[in-house]
Structure formats: C-alpha cells, structure tokens
Structure 1
Amino acid sequence: MTEGKRVAARIKRICAPLLALAMLLSACAGNETGDQTVNSEQNGTPAQTRPIGDATADPEAATPCIVQTRFETDDVVVADVIATAARFGADPSGEQDSTAAIQSALDECAAAGGGTVWLPAGQYRVTSGIKIPAFVTLRGDWQDPDEGSEYGTVILAEVESIDAPLPALFTLGGSGGAVGLTVYYPEQDLGDVKPYPFTFYVNGQGADYMLQTVKNCTILNGYRGLGACVAEDNAHEMMTVDTLKGTLLHVGAEAYNQADVGTWKNVDLGGRFWAAAGEAYNAPSVEAIEAYTRANGTGLILGDLEWTEFYNLKISGYRTGIEIVKGKRIQFAGSLYGVWISGCQTGLRVSSIDARWGMLVACGRIEGTEYAVDNQTRGVVKLAGVELGGALNGERRIRQDESGTALTLPNAPAAPNKPLNHLYVVSADRSGAADTAPAIQESLDEAGRTGGIVYLPAGKYLLETPLRIPAGVELRGCSSVAAREQSGLSLGTVLLAAYGETAAGSDPAEAEALITMTGENAGVRGLRIFYIRNDFTEGVKEYSYAIRSRHDGAYAVNIGLTAATYGVDFRGSDGHVINKLVGCCYRNAILVGESTGGVIEGCLQNGTAIYRNGLDVGYPRDEATIWDQLFDPVTRLETVYIRLENAADELVFNTFAYGVRTLAEAEGCENLRLINIGADNLGSATPLLKTAGGSVTAVNMMRYNGKSYENEGSRLAIFNRITIGAATEQTVIEP
C-alpha cells in the first residue's frame, strides 16, 4: 500500500463514525428547530412532508428538495439531483471511485436545464477530471477550515501527477459553480512534492466563456489551485471567487485574458490549512510547509485581467505573494482592497502592467524580506492606507496616499435572512408559451402562511401579470450561483417578463413592479428576468421596476436582469442586500434610499447580456452593432446605474458598469462607502460618481473616460482614483 493509500485509509477510519449520521442529515429534511420540508409538486398541496431525523430520509428522496447541511450556510440548499442516489452511486465512504457517478449526476442535471447537484458530507474518490456543465453547480457541505477539521464534503483527488496546467480536477462551465468542496491529494508528500494540474479551471470556450463561480472551497494540499485561460488563448469574463482557502505548493491562482470584470473576495492562502488538518491528512508542520512555499511558491499570478476587483486577500509564506505578469492579449489593470501579505520574500511584484495607468491597492499591510513592493514597469502602483514592511523597488512609480487617512476593512456584510425550510415546487408551463404568473402566485400565497421557498425548476416562465412575495418567503430559481446568458445558451430559470408597460403620462418608477415583496425578509434568488417586448431598437418602453420592496431585509441575490427599463427598487428597506445582479437596464438598475445598512455587492451592467441571449425573442444578436444601436443612443445617454437617495451606512463594493451615463448618483446619503468601483466608456463628459449632500467615501475608483466626480455640497473623500492616461490623479477631500 502506498503512503497515499494509507493516508486515505486513515481518513476513512477516523471519519467513518460520522458518515451514517451525515448521510441521514444530508437527505431531504427540515431544520433543527423542527420545521418541516414541504415538497409541493402541485401548487399549495403538500406532496411530501418529512419530519426531522426521519430514518427513511435517504438519497432516493424526490427532488427538488431542501437538504439539511451539517455546517452553516448563508442560504437554504435546494438540490435538483443528489449524487449519492443509487442510479449514480457516488460513494461517501471513499472506498469506490466516484468520478463517473459525480459526472453522471452533473450531466443529468444539465440535461434538465441546469440546477444544483448535491454531494453530501463524506469522502469521494476522484481519479480523473470532472466537467461541471454550464448552468450547473456541484455543491457540497463545507466547514470553514478556520473553524474545524471535519470539513464535510471531501474530494480525495487520486489523479495522475503531471507537471502541467491540465487536465484540471474540475473544469467549470459558464454560469456554473463549484461550491462547498474541500479537496485533498492523498499522494502528496512534502518530502517528495508531486506536481498536479489545477484543481479548479476555467477555459473560456463556447458556453464556458463567462461567469463561473468558485465559492466556499478549501484546497488542503494542492499544487496548482485555481486557473483561468492558462493553457490556451481563450478569454473569459466575470469569474467570481468568493471564499477560497488553502495550501497550494506551487501557485494559489493563475489567471489570464479576462474581458468583462471579475470579482474575488476572501482569498486566504498559506501553510496553516494543511498543517491544521492533522495526521489523517498527512499534515506537516506549518514551518515545514512555508519553508517549501517560500522557496518555490507564488500566491497569485495575475495576467491580463481587465478591471478585476479584489476584496480581502490574505497570503502568507510564499516566494512572491502576488505577481502581475505579461498578458496574452492586453495587460493587467485592477483594484485590490484589504490586502495582507506576510512572510514572503517579495510581497507584490509587478513584472508587467498596462503602462497607461496601473493598479490600485488600499487597506492592509504588505511585507517582504527582499521587497515589499517591486515595480519593474512604467505603470503606476497606487497605495492608500497600506502599511509597508520592507524595501521598495521602482519607487518613482509607486504612489502612496499622503492624506494620513486610515482605511479599514468593513465588517463582512451579513447574508440575507434565511427562509424557513418549507419548499413549494411550482408545477407550471416551462416552455414560455403560457402565462405562469397565476400558478406561481398560488404557491407564493401558500408559502405566505408558513414561510419558506417557492422553487422554479429550470425552464422559461412567461409572466403576463405581476407577482407578490409575502414576508419570509423566497422566490428561488435553480441557480446556486450567479448566471447570465452564455453566447446564445440560455438555460436555468428564466422569467420572460411581459408585464409592466405603463400608460402614457404615468410614472413608470412608481407603477406596480413585476415582482413586489409585501413584507419583511422576502427576496428573490437564483433566477433571471428577461423583458421580451422591450427591444431598444424599436424605442425603449416605459416599463415599471422589475423588483420592488419597501420592507426591511429585502434581498436580490444571483439575479440576471436584462432589457429592463428599471431594475431593483429597495427604497425604505433597511438591511437590504443586492448581490450579483448582472445584466442590462436602460434607465436605472438599482434604486435605494430612506434606509440604513444596505449592501450592494458584485453587480455589473453590460449590454452584451442582451446580445448573447438564446431565448429566440427577436433582439439583435450581432455585437458589431452594439455601439450604434444600444450604447450610444440609449445607455450612455440615459442609464444611471445606481441611484441612492438618503441612504445611511450603505456599502457598495466590487461593482462595475460598461457604457452607462453614470455609475452612481447619491443625494443626502450619510456614510456612503464605495469600494472597488469602475466604469468603462461612460457617457461623454459625465461623471462616474455624482454626489449632493451627506457624506461619501470612495476608495479604488477606475474609469476609462469622462470625469471622476461631480460634487454639490457632500463631504466627499476619494482615495486611489485612476484613469487611463491620468494615472497620477490626486486624493480628493471636499470640503
């Protein structure tokens, strides 16, 4: 028996007592407070009710269903497919090879139009690469490695050791995701380090071009972590990284050739993750691991990423913490907020960058025994609120903010309130041919009596009348991650909006929305809305807002919103959350105000969302016409992407818009914070940020054209602003 096999055997012995319990809890069951799961195939009629801890609960349960996780999640997990079901046969004991079983489950989910494949807590042997198809998420039960070493769903990567980027362990399709997985390489040995291809990979080809997500994943002892377009000349767009932790012996992440803006949040790389795993995972000491990585490893290698936004990065014990390298198509430009690099020879090395401007780094500390920052280029590295522990190289191109203002990392935004574990699965036409609003509303009304989730499996749902979501109810589509149209492929859950055009003389901003939340803690998640009768080439129609709430705790998470005149209106909602709203709105995408403590995160507007649809609704498809048809005559003249009115303590971060009039307009907002914001091809001579009254702080602001800001009476501070051709713009403090 090899050492790797012995390690795998130890894992099985140690974890075996937990497996039976895990399998019970991972099947369709309610929550710990005794709430029951209602899996309603007929609207409002419980088709299946199962109490907590029911021993009959098993992987053969009817799906879609809610699964109870062993570890806390920020949402309720709804599974469309369970990979341990007998027809697939994924083995949570780790004895049998589960590669084919997991792939079969993923393929079945894709054939049904997309959704979530659930992989319960356990250990799963994987011996070759797995492809996660477009619009499908592989989701496991994840324990944060900083909170324990049970881990939940563990992938035992018993793949061939080769020193090459590919074949990856997991290759992600567009609008697909890897969520809640912990990966361990049983054959890895610090005394005889073995190279492996990437653990997670984005190739940017065809329907795999854009908006892949890696979330809540741990790589205990990988060699190459996350890769994007490393081995080929393809491009990719909008890759989302949200909480990736691990020990990577060669490189934590390496990415090239990204067009539209990606977002990275909570990336933590260092030797402590493998070291803390203990004997069951053949763990060396953290000192031994970081002695190796300090001599051989790099935390992040970043090539030609356009405007990518990074938030909360921690990198420890590498030869180089972050290295900016030559791109394949262009050169790197991006914003980093909250950067802590320690124990490295060089903290930040810039080997190649777009010399017309550069990169922004704010808040944190960068250390290096050789150099804290080594800028070998003619581009600018702008620093604000960053402590430096080490020498600088290329000091003339390293600009430090001299205002003396201390910048801090805001508290992690709270997740929306989770609904109760009651599930109502809507049975309605999924072809887009018949109005489904009455059937959906019937389920929403039923859920209003209990709280819970109204679930729309993958399909196209025509809405000719409006929907109302009661308090404590979530309208949920099939996506566990952000999604949008993929080069003519439009799978997942899509609402075809045919309601909301207002009469002449009325105010569309105040007319009834397509979806209205009628009480607190209601929301929408995991679906897309496409207005099928609002073709901009025929003149923008005056539709009302797509989504509205006047109640606290409203949320819109992982929502595609396309060809809407107006988007989300959360005026009056304290503690609202808008996360990963992507698409294109003609007049205004987000409106908030008269509220406290809201969060707008990871949102993006680009008109390509219209052109790349596969819904056969008659809109233009030739992107060569997008400037003449959409950007110049419509959005660059009219679109105020985010409007904020008398909002207090609002946080906007990792947010970008292409081809709009202004990114954000704020009036009377106190303590408004904007972090990592950008806009490309703004309207002619219009500002990225427009403020009036109140107090506003912006950090890390990137733009291609137009003006940084216009201010009428706000207490305004802007740190780290940069423009192509104007890399040395100064800090703004007004008045």
Structure 2
Amino acid sequence: MIARLAFVGCLAISVLLAAQPLKPTLVETTLPTADVVVASVVLEPAQGDATPRIQEAIDRVAGAGGGVVFLRTGWYRIRGRLTLKEGAVLRGDWVEPSQGVKGTVLALYAGKGETDTAPIIAMQRGTGLRELTFWFPEQNATKPVPYPWVARTADKIGGDNTTVMNVTIVNAWQGVCIGPQSNELHTMRNLYLTALKTGISIDSTTDIGRLNHVVISPRIWEQSGLPGAPIGSARTACRGHQAKAALGVDIGRSDWEYIHDVEIEGLAIGFKFRQGKRGVTNAVMVLSKAVDCGTALVLERLNGVGLAVTGCELEGTQSGVLAPESFTTVATFNSCTIGGKQSVQLQGDGVLTFQNCSLNGTLTAERGQVTALNSSFAAAGRHIVLGSSVGRARILGNTFEGRPRIENQAQAADIGISHAPLAKVKPDLTPYVSAPVRTPPKRALFVVTDFGADGKAADNTPAFAKALTAAREAGGGTVYVPAGLYRFQGQLRIPTGVELRGCFDVPHHTISAGSVLMSTTGRGQERGTPFVQLERRSGLRGLTFWYPEQSLDTPVPYPWTVRGLGPGCWLEDVTLGNSWQGVDFWTHDSTGHLVRYLAGCCLKRGLWVSKSAGTGWVEDLQFNPHYALRLPKGLPHPPMTGRTGGVLIDFLRQNLEGMVFGDCEDERIFATFLYAAYDGIAFRDDLGGTNSRILIHGTDTASRAAVIERTGPKGLEFIAAQLVPLGKWEVAAIVTPPKFRGEVKFFNTQVWAGDLTADLQGTGKVLIQQMNTLSGGFRQTAGETALQNINLSRDMHPHLMIEGGTSDLLANQSRRGMLRWERGKRAKVTAFGNAASLLGTLPQGDPAPGNLATSWEQGDPAGHTDQLAKGGGIRIVTDAHCGPVDIPAGATGKRAVKLQGTCAKGKHGYVYFKLADGPIAILPDSVLSYSIRPLNAEGQHVAVDGVLDSGPPLRDHRLVTTDKGSAHPGTAKGKIGEWTRIHVPLGKVSGKTIQYLMFAYDHRVAKEGEFACLVDDVRVQSEMAKTGDWRIQAVVGPMGLALSGPKNPIRYTIDGSNPAPDSLLYRRPIPLPKQGIREVRYAIQQADGKLTPLVFSCLLGK
C-alpha cells in the first residue's frame, strides 16, 4: 500500500482554518480500528511541510479545551517541531506493523545530527499520540546518525498524563523520553519501535507510569517496507550497531513503574535502572523479555523497595542480570528464564532472590545475599559461584544439569545448601489479554451542543436528556460532549447501545479539564439517585466529573456518581475529580463490565463490583487525592488552604473503601493503583466471593492495603502487588479478618512503611511466596499459612508472631541477621532454611579487631584534622574545621574534637570529616557510643557516622539510639553546653566492617548560620570480639553433625527453630536423618545461662 502513496505534506491555509469553527465529526478510517473515532479537526495530506498546519490544528483544538486532530492516511512531511498542547490528541490511521507500515506516516526531517535539542514533538500534560507512524527518511542504516527524541515531556505545562498508544516509531535514534522534568502518569500502550541509541527513557516520575505491550526491536524498521529499510549487508551493519550501542528502556527515577509485556531484542542493554535526577526507582516487571542483548537487565541503582520481576525472559550474550557494585538494595525474580555466559552477576552488596526460575549460565555472587529456590541450573562450567564476601546464600530444592557444580568461597557467611526436592507452587502466568474495546452498535453521532447544552447554562440536564433520547430513538450511537464546564441540577440515564463521550481519547487528569460534568444535586443524600445511570450495554468515555460544592476540608455525602443498571456496561478514560461515591457496579447485575483507566479521587467509596456471572475487567484504575487538589483555572470549588491536602489524605485513610469486589465469577484485574484509603483493595462476601488473578496492583498509604474476607472457589492470586500500610488507622499491608474463608496467594510482592506486613486471621489459606518487605512483621492467629522466600529488611523481635493456626516457613531471610519467630500454644509451625545470623570476618592483625576506643588523650590514636570524608563530603558549608583541641574539661580528660563551620540559613547543608580509622568488625552485640557537647543550637545536628566496607554508610541504615532517637546527624541531639552520652547498637549491620568513623554536621533546613560541637570518648565495643568465643565449627561426618569450638555449652534444635537456653544440649554428634531433610540450629550458651546473639544453621539430608 505504501508504494502507491504519494509523498505529500500539508499546505498552509491558516486563514481558512481560523475561520472554521470546530465541528466534531465521525471519522471513517481507512484501516480497521477498535473504537469509534470522533475528531474536532480532520486534515488531509497535501504538498509541502505539514508542520505549520498540524500545529495550527493542535492550537485550535487545545484552545477549545481539547479534542482530536485526525490525520487521514498518507505521508506528512515534518521539517520543524510540534508542541502537542494540553487537551489535544494527535491521531491517525494505523495497523500493527508486523506486515509493514500502513496508514498515517509522519516523515521527520528536523534535527539531523542533533541529540540534546528540542524533541520533534513536545508533549504537554493531558495529551496523546495515537494510531500514528513516525519515520526518519534520511536515517542511514549502515552509518546511523543522531536525531532528537521523537516525543518528550514538554518543558512547560508538563506533568500529569502523557500517552503514546498504538504507535510505530520506525527508526529512531531516540524514541520517547519522559522527564527529567517532573512528571506523572505516563502511558505507553502498543508501542513498536526500532531504537538506534535509546528506545524509552524515564526519569522524575512520581506517580504510576505504565508500559504495556511495547516492542523494541531491529525488525520494526526491517519489516516496515519503507524506502531505506535495512536488508542484506545494511541489515547486518545496523543490527551490529544496535548490539554495541543501543539501550531499550532506561529508567532513572520512577515511583511504582508498571512494566508489562515489554519485548526488547538485539540491543547492547535491554533494561537499565540507574540513578535519576531526583532519585531512583521501585518497579514491577511482568511477562516481559529482553533477548539477544549483550546484557538483558542492568541494576545499577534501585530504591529500598526494589524491583520485582515475574514471568520474564532475560537472555544476554554476556549477562542475563548484572547487578554491579553500586547495587545495594533488592531485586526478586519469580518464574523467569535468565541466561548468558553469566546468567546472573551480583557484584554489589544487595539482595537477589530467585524462585521457580531457569538459569542458563553461571550465577556468580561476589558479595551481598542470594537465594535460589525450586529453580533449574544449566551451565557449561560451574552452576553457582559464591565469592568470599558473600554474606548469605540459600540454595534450596534446585535441579541441575548433571551433578551440582557449586563453588563456595564464602569465608564467614550464613550459607544453606540442600538439593532435596521441595513442593512447588507457581503463579499463573497465562498471557494477559486486554479487554475488548466497547463501542455503540450504531455509528451515529449526537453532539450535545446541538441540543442546547451550554457551559453558561445553570442546568444542562434537559439538553443532555434530549441528545440521549435522540440516540435511543435512533437505535444507539455516540453522544458527544465538546470540552467545557457543564452544570447539572438533575440526573442522567444512558440508554442501551449509547456511549456518552467526552473530548479525551486518552487518560487525563482533572487539571486538564476537558468535558466536565458538574453535579449540584444530591448533597447530603448518600442513598439518593446516582448522577449517571447506565442501562445495560451502555458506557462512558473521555469525561470528567466534578462536584463544585464539595468541600475537601469537611466532605459531605453525595449519591454514587455512576451506577450500572445491568450487564455489559463500560467506562474508559473517565476521571472522577471529587466523588463521594464513585462507580457502583455492585447493586445490579454487572456481568461483562469493563472499566479501563478510571481515574480520580473518591472520598467514601471508589469502585464497587459484584454480581458478575461471567468475565469482567478492571484495568489501569488510578485513584489519588491529587485529582481533587490540582485543578484548572475556572473550575468552581470551595476554598482550599495549605492544610487541605493533609486533611484530605487523613480523611481517605479513615474512610475510603477504594476497590471492593464481591461475587465475581471471573474478574480480570490489571495494573490498578490507589493512594490513601482505609481499604485499598478488598474482597467481600456478597453471597459469594471473587475468583481473580490480580496482575499488578498497588495500594499506597492505606489502613488495610489488601483485605480479603472471602474468595470464590478458585481463589485469588496476586502477582506483583505493591502494598503500603500507613497512617493513624493503620492495620497491615495484608489483612485476612476473622471471617476470612477461601484461598489467596501472593507472588512476588513489595511492601513498605507501617508496623505490620500481614495480620492473618480466619480459617482460609494464605500463601505468600517471595516478598520484599520494609514494613513490620507478620501476625497469625488462625488459618493455614505458608511463607516462602520473604526478605525482611527490619531487625525485629520477633519478625513472625504465630499465635494459632498452621504455618510453614521456608527460606525467609532477615536482611540484617537471623529470622526470629515465636509460636503460641495453639500454633503448629514447620520451618526450614530460614535466616541464621550474619557472621562477618574479623580483620587480621589487631588483638581486639571488633573494638575501638579513643578520647584523644596522650597515648590515644591521634585522629585527623580537617580531613573531609569521601563517605559524606560537604555542601553549602563554609569555614568548616574539625580536629582535636585542648579544653578545660572534656567528657573525660582535657582533650576532645571540635567541629565548627557556617551553613547558609534555610538550606540543606552538611559536612563530614574523618574522625578515626578502622577497620572495626561489627558483631551482633557491637555498640557505638560517644559523648557530645553542642556549643549552640545548630551544633545539635551532629553525629558520629561510619563508612562501611560495602553498601551505604551507617547513617543510611536507620539506626536508633538506646533512647529511641535517630542516630542520623540530621536529628538534634544533646543539650547546649552540656555533655550527653549517645549509644547506638550496631547489630542491624552485623557482618560489615567500619572502614573509618566520621564526625558530621547535617541539617536539612539550617536555622542559624554557625554551628559548633565537641565530641569525646568515642567507642565501638563488642564483648564477643573481646572473648573470641563466638564461632562454632560444624563438620558433617559418618556419625552425624559434630560441633566444636568454644569451651561454653552449645544448645541446638532440630526443627528449624532458633535455640533457647532450655533447648537440647550438645554432647555428641547429631545423627543424620534417615530420610528427608533436617535443619540443625545452634548457639553458644554463656556463663549466665543466656545464649549469644549468634545463631548458626546446618542443613542435613539429601
């Protein structure tokens, strides 16, 4: 088809265009499209540069409040730059490009040889590119040349909601860039591109970004059928260039990036996570792949929540997964295929966990912690190499090609290896198929302004009713609402076969307004008639709803905004700005419902779904209070103050029931998110429960992030959930209340904040397989629970409180030491392979290598003077000095170290000076103590800090003093003019080594210019280091497990529990099990009868 198209642009006829009013039109596309296209402006191809005419059409549509500029099939020459302005969607004719490029083609000529200049298209907030193909006709496949980004976040009016959907980018040097300007809520869906340098770059994203079905591959250009497409030697050269120099998806900071069905092929690097301009990322990646890349996945930096990878294929010619020295956090992999000469390389001090994976190539861990459960290994040489600095490894229940070839060089580590088979439970990784697009049965258009609707009218109910009646009488169709603010004093009823549709063809935010329906009726009537009622097989699309009289400081009830009255109803790209109650698909039969990108802020109830006898879909839901707070000019609302945002968030945490599901036979829940609720996502009993696979869900700051009261007979399965319990009414991330019945499984979950990860009650079954939690521990009082491969970042006493029910604990790890759990009298617990203590290696050549003491008196170590420390540095501080001084009265003696300087007021300033040299081993009982005497108020923001042998410094480990204060320099300490003793237990970082100590001033908002403080009597003390009686030698021989080492008694258990003072007393070798496997855990008993803090583990049996 392309060969028959004339190469044309557009003729500038701006005077004529300006004279024409916008008239929404039904567009008949050349190529099949799933939806009905309604455009405000339709352009035809013409000769010349199309840039001016397209820009003028965009300006007109944006100036009118939003809509679609449609480019009919043909080639459009773009010699300049375009700004896609707020509210405008640029759309054309398109088909998936596997059989060649067809439809609307934008030929891009601008920016040849440029990389950092303006993008071809700058995208403001609330904009979209849809059903378009972009092509660089002058790009050279043999010798590629740079070009700017095809599309990038605009420097001005950026922010919320940019969408690239059903788009082909044939041969970009750089494809789509989000950030580094502040931004939120990007969507890339059905995007196909060839990337010669970078396909997609994302940074500074602070609310959910979504990548869903993205293909980055050389074949997009090769199969395009366009002139210059690489074939033969040009194809070889072009693929060689991409294999050496191209990057698929580059992510700096993105809070909660959702990555689904992304395919990358043939590049130097597939996915890369790195330091961004404003931070780093946490993300989930599901059913994606990077194949035939040099390195499939590079993990330079992530935040503490990390990356959860499920059902992915990561195949590199060199490495499948590379976590370099800069990697210090967590990444978890479930049901993945990972391959390369090195399938996995862990070089940093972080944690990698694998379960149900296939690893083809050597897994090499030089340091850090690694877990591999129920996985398969194949390699030409060694399957697994554990380096000398590895702190912990659990290699359990795996299979190997040939005999296991494991090289364990770890010198002082918590290592557990067992090849005995374990029961397998795997997630359902059936490819997700998006819901079919719903459209009215009849292609007819009814524009509400033709029936008298007017933004100046006090009540648009009659005009809308006329348009809807006309559509009903015509047998259905689209009732179109042009951009504007429309007031209503009544309610609307959408007839069967009718879609009420606004100007947005993409997801949008309240701030971008568009077609806004404002209800002024129903105040105080929670049970009143809903604003909009949907008859069976009717729907809403592209609309914004707003209650102009709703106060966010003192919210009042209103009826539901939308209620479905029968099966087959739909909502797509609908925004609820401040609904008391959002969408009711609960009251009536909702079979066959579809909800796609329902966004907004609901105050009491969000989306409720039940009585669904077949398949229903909820995709890309996005609830956040900022939809009620970020508003366009002219949108009426009660006054707001600086406190309104905080008041609203607290109200939601106490009151909002966000996503609630009842009796649903087959619910497809995909890529959903909400911020601030009492119940984030809830499954209730409505004379039946829900059967569902919840594929990617996030609840941020909820009292109960996920609560399950009842499930359907097939149960619930969460894959890649992110759950945050937080606030005054916080309960836990996962809650099963006393009436819980059914079965729920969580695979590869991320949890943070709050004091409790899970509160498990009821008689149902719960499986939590693979989780990284930064929250508190687990509490179980009843039911049947299995916890597998969970990484708990906090040091807790205990991590797990099992008061009743049955619980199976397998390979759960405490990032900072051993896993502690307690069992009630009613509880039955089995445990195997859980974390023992991290040991650490004492430095050589020092009689007390785990201790340090200096007061800078005669005979003490001299210390340092004015030596800035690399582990801290200096920022906005002048005249800084640090060194020993003579004083009349130190804490003890007559010398101390004085730190002083000047910091700019109101700024974040800091300075870190070297104080004393190591190395100092940190053992479980190590305590850092020192005395400080602040000489002024600013001098209270100080602390002794330490640079470790790996990972972040002490200040970034959230250490707490013995009086429950923060050990960070930024927290004020001591009284001015008085000596105060500070004690900081260091057991949380046991196993590490302090390279040197620092004395630091650090204040995020300095209130005074000058600061000064004295420090004296710095100690790092460990009784275990003094005695040296803290190791046990374990040897497995024909007689069993023999333990030897210290003179003190050894207490042990054989059921995987931690030993207590009354546990079995070791007297002779512990027999090997006759069948099966057994874990022996043991510890030294001190003279006072207590056990040392170190617990050791040995796995016995095959």
TM-score norm. by structure 1 comes to 0.85
Give the superposition deviation at 1:296. 0.9
Kindly report which structure 2 residues correspond to 1:319-718, keeping only aligned pairs within 5 A, or say none: 319-354=268-303, 356-376=304-324, 377-390=327-340, 391-394=343-346, 397-401=351-355, 402=373, 403-406=424-427, 407-427=429-449, 428-449=452-473, 450-486=475-511, 490-501=512-523, 503=525, 508=527, 511-519=528-536, 521-538=537-554, 540-571=555-586, 572-595=589-612, 596-614=614-632, 615-622=634-641, 624-632=642-650, 634-667=651-684, 668-683=688-703, 686-694=704-712, 695-706=715-726, 707-711=732-736, 712-718=740-746
User: What letter is aligned with 2:319?
Assistant: Y
Give the Cα separation in 1 of the matches to 2:188 and 2:253: 17
Give the superposition deviation at 1:423. 0.2
Q: 1:591 to 1:238 in 2, by over 3 A?
A: same
Give the Cα separation in 1 of the matches to 2:338 and 2:734: 30
In 2, are the aligned partners of 1:432 and 1:496 still within 8 Å (CA)?
Answer: no
> 2:143 is matched with which residue: 175, 179, 192?
192
User: What letter is aligned with 2:659?
Assistant: I
Give the superposition deviation at 1:714. 2.3
Give the Cα separation in 2 of the matches to 1:705 and 1:165: 41
Residue 135 of structure 1 is matched in structure 2 by: 87
Residue 6 of structure 1 is matched in structure 2 by: none
Are residue 173 (structure 1) and residue 124 (structure 2) matched? yes
Give the Cα separation in 1 of the matches to 2:639 and 2:322: 47
CA deviations 1:362-393 (Å, max 9, x no partner) are: 11211111111112211111112212223101
> 1:264 is matched with which residue: 211, 222, 235?
211
In 2, are the aligned partners of 1:225 and 1:253 still within 8 Å (CA)?
Answer: yes
In 2, are the aligned partners of 1:660 and 1:681 still within 8 Å (CA)?
Answer: yes
Give the superposition deviation at 1:408. 2.5
Give the superposition deviation at 1:240. 1.1
RMSD: 2.4
User: What letter is aligned with 1:440?
Assistant: F
Are residue 71 (structure 1) and residue 20 (structure 2) matched? no
Give the number of the structure whose residues are more often helix, by fraction: 1
Q: 1:516 to 1:364 in 2, by over 3 A?
A: same
Give the Cα separation in 2 of the matches to 1:188 and 1:359: 36
User: What letter is aligned with 2:469?
Assistant: D
Give the superposition deviation at 1:172. 1.0
User: SS at the partner of 2:689?
Assistant: strand
Give the Cα separation in 1 of the matches to 2:132 and 2:531: 36
User: What letter is aligned with 1:211?
Assistant: N
Give the superposition deviation at 1:550. 2.8
Give the Cα separation in 2 of the matches to 1:247 and 1:209: 26
In 1, are the aligned partners of 2:101 and 2:225 still within 8 Å (CA)?
Answer: no
User: SS at the partner of 2:568?
Assistant: coil
Give the superposition deviation at 1:12. 7.4
User: What letter is aligned with 2:289?
Assistant: W
In 2, are the aligned partners of 1:466 and 1:514 still within 8 Å (CA)?
Answer: yes
Give the superposition deviation at 1:689. 3.7
Give the Cα separation in 1 of the matches to 2:155 and 2:118: 15
Residue 110 of structure 1 is matched in structure 2 by: 62
Give the superposition deviation at 1:321. 0.5
> 1:214 is matched with which residue: 160, 164, 171?
164
Give the superposition deviation at 1:474. 0.3
Unaligned runs of 5+ in 2: 10-19, 356-372, 374-423, 727-731, 758-770, 774-786, 791-805, 809-1102
Give the Cα separation in 1 of the matches to 2:226 and 2:2: 12
Give the superposition deviation at 1:673. 1.6
State the structure with more CA Rg: 2
Q: 1:648 to 1:289 in 2, by over 3 A?
A: farther
Give the superposition deviation at 1:280. 2.8
Give the superposition deviation at 1:81. 1.0
In 2, are the aligned partners of 1:382 and 1:399 still within 8 Å (CA)?
Answer: yes
Give the superposition deviation at 1:68. 0.7
Give the superposition deviation at 1:333. 0.6
In 1, are the aligned partners of 2:2 and 2:102 still within 8 Å (CA)?
Answer: no
CA deviations 1:196-247 (Å, max 9, x no partner) are: 1111111363x321111111110011110000114xxx21011111111011
Give the superposition deviation at 1:156. 0.4
Give the Cα separation in 2 of the matches to 1:268 and 1:12: 22
CA deviations 1:35-90 (Å, max 9, x no partner) are: xxxxxxxxxxxxxxxxxxxxxxxxx9982110011222221000111233xxxxxx
What is the total number of aligned residue pairs between the two structures?
658
Residue 273 of structure 1 is matched in structure 2 by: 220
Residue 52 of structure 1 is matched in structure 2 by: none
Give the Cα separation in 2 of the matches to 1:257 and 1:666: 34
> 1:293 is matched with which residue: 220, 230, 242?
242
In 2, are the aligned partners of 1:157 and 1:184 still within 8 Å (CA)?
Answer: yes
In 2, are the aligned partners of 1:137 and 1:179 still within 8 Å (CA)?
Answer: yes
User: What letter is aligned with 1:353?
Assistant: L
Give the Cα separation in 1 of the matches to 2:193 and 2:677: 38
Give the Cα separation in 1 of the matches to 2:485 and 2:231: 51
User: What letter is aligned with 1:728?
Assistant: N
Give the Cα separation in 2 of the matches to 1:113 and 1:181: 22
Give the Cα separation in 2 of the matches to 1:432 and 1:241: 36
Are residue 14 (structure 1) and residue 1 (structure 2) matched? no
**What percentage of residue pairs aligned between the two structures are identical?**
26
Q: 1:204 to 1:97 in 2, by over 3 A?
A: closer
Kindly report which structure 2 residues correspond to 1:49-68, keeping only aligned pairs within 5 A, or say none: 63-68=23-28
User: What letter is aligned with 1:705?
Assistant: P
CA deviations 1:73-128 (Å, max 9, x no partner) are: 221000111233xxxxxxx25x4110000000000111111111111110000011
Q: 1:627 to 1:101 in 2, by over 3 A?
A: closer
Q: 1:314 to 1:97 in 2, by over 3 A?
A: same
User: What letter is aligned with 1:227?
Assistant: C
User: SS at the partner of 1:659?
Assistant: strand
Residue 821 of structure 2 is matched in structure 1 by: none
CA deviations 1:300-356 (Å, max 9, x no partner) are: 0001000111211111101110000101112111111111111111111111111x2
When structure 1 is superposed on structure 2, of 343-352 and 699-708 the one drifting more is: 699-708
In 1, are the aligned partners of 2:223 and 2:229 still within 8 Å (CA)?
Answer: no
Give the Cα separation in 2 of the matches to 1:625 and 1:554: 38
Give the Cα separation in 2 of the matches to 1:135 and 1:717: 41
User: SS at the partner of 2:147?
Assistant: coil
In 2, are the aligned partners of 1:611 and 1:619 still within 8 Å (CA)?
Answer: no
